[in-house]
Amino acid sequence: MPYKVAAFYQFTPLPDFEQLREPLRSMCAALDIKGIILLAAEGINGTVAGSAVAIDALMKQIEHGALFGGRIDNLELKFSTALEMPFNRMKVRLKKEIVTIKDGATDPTQQVGTYVDAADWNDLITQPGMVLLDTRNAFEVEMGTFEGAVDPDISSFSEFKDFADRTLDPARDKSIAMFCTGGIRCEKASSYLLSRGFENVFHLKGGILKYLETIPEAQSRWKGECFVFDQRVALGHGLTERAARQEGDDHE
């Protein structure tokens, strides 16, 4: 049986995030859903898998149910499939940040860069003077990236701000287009750059996954595969699984 996989996030104030953990975990258990969900005062971030009926029911509860009380009203949500269950268990974790940058001035609920739909991405990144920036970790970049993208050569996203401070200059780098797997890291990265005086900051809405889902391979500027943090390891155009899954891979 193929499984439905949902990757989702939203930055939104959740001051009661600690109280949301157990009800959310119980909800997932009742639906026989596995994966990982992160909760923090700044929002929610997760990837989960289960039957199509179960995943649809969970998303309905998160977006419209009583648990979140209508606060998840702009969820960035992408669906894909897996031939086998890509997670070993269900985890709901409490975190200081749903994606870690360790900078108190960076707040995606206050300011982020300009969203660019996948259909418009190719035109944007080929504009003269555009700095194309991959915000992911080095091992992810090695597996695949966009033609001409700058690799920050970082081992974790929390190092991005040091890379930016050391390498980028708002007086020189007038326009920056950035991308990541699903879009969440770019929310933090673009907010950080704007707080440091960069003006024209763009990011790929829905991330690489939305691009691979939307853009035909013949028109694509993506080279390689997109690493994902589950046992599928990587996805290609059309969000197809790589040809051979590697036993023991578990990058939750």
Catalytic residues: 180
Beta bridge partners of 35: 48, 90
- Kindly state the tokens that stand for 6: 């949902």
Angle at the Cα of 100 (from 81 to 103), degrees rounded to 5? Answer: 150
| CA torsion through residues 82, 233, 131, 184, sign | positive
Cβ-based neighbour number of residue 228 at 10 Å: 26
- Kindly state the tokens that stand for 98: 């749903």
Beta bridge partners of 186: none
**Residue 137 neighbours by CB under 8 Å, 6+ apart:** 154, 155, 156, 157
